[in-house]
Amino acid sequence: MGDSQRVAYLNGGWVPETKSSVSVFDLGVLYGQMVFEFTRTYNRKPFRLVHHLQRLYNSMQVADIDCGLTMDEMYDLTMELLERNMHTLADGDDFGVWHNCSPGIQTQYQDMAPQSSRPTVTINVWPISLFKPDQWIHQSIGMDAVITPQRTVPSKLIDPKVKNRSRMHYRMAEVQAARIKPGSMAILVDDDGHISEGTSCNVMLVRDGTLVSPEPRNILRGVTRGAIIDLAQALEIPFVETNLDPYDVYTADEAFFCSTSFAIMPIRTVDDHRISEGIPGPVTQRIIDAFSDDVGIDFIQQARELFDLPEPALAH
Q: What is the pLDDT of residues 287-309, one digit of tens each?
A: 999 999 999 999 988 988 888 77
Write down the pLDDT at residue 117.
65
Write down the pLDDT at residue 135.
77
Write down the pLDDT at residue 116.
63
Spatial separation of the C-alpha atoms in residues 251 and 197, rounded to whole Å: 17
Instruction: Return the biggest CA–CA distance within the chain.
Output: 62
For domain 7-131, is the CATH number 3.40.50.300?
no
pLDDT one-digit tens code per residue, 191-247? 999 999 999 999 999 999 999 999 998 899 999 999 999 999 999 999 999 999 999
Contact 82, 42 (CB under 8 A): no
Write down the pLDDT at residue 132.
67
Write down the pLDDT at residue 71.
98
Q: Which residues pair with 15 in a beta bridge?
A: 8
Average pLDDT, the chain: 92
Amino acid at position 121, single letter? V
Write down the pLDDT at residue 137.
80
Write down the pLDDT at residue 231.
97
What is the rounded end-to-end Cα distance, in angstroms, of the chain?
Answer: 35
Write down the pLDDT at residue 315.
44
Show the low-confidence residues of the chain (pLDDT under 70): 1-4, 114-117, 132-133, 312-316
Kindly list the domain boundaries of the chain, sorted by start residue.
Answer: 7-131, 134-307
Write down the pLDDT at residue 312.
63
CATH number of 134-307: 3.20.10.10
Contact 244, 214 (CB under 8 A): yes
Spatial separation of the C-alpha atoms in residues 301 and 314, rounded to whole Å: 16
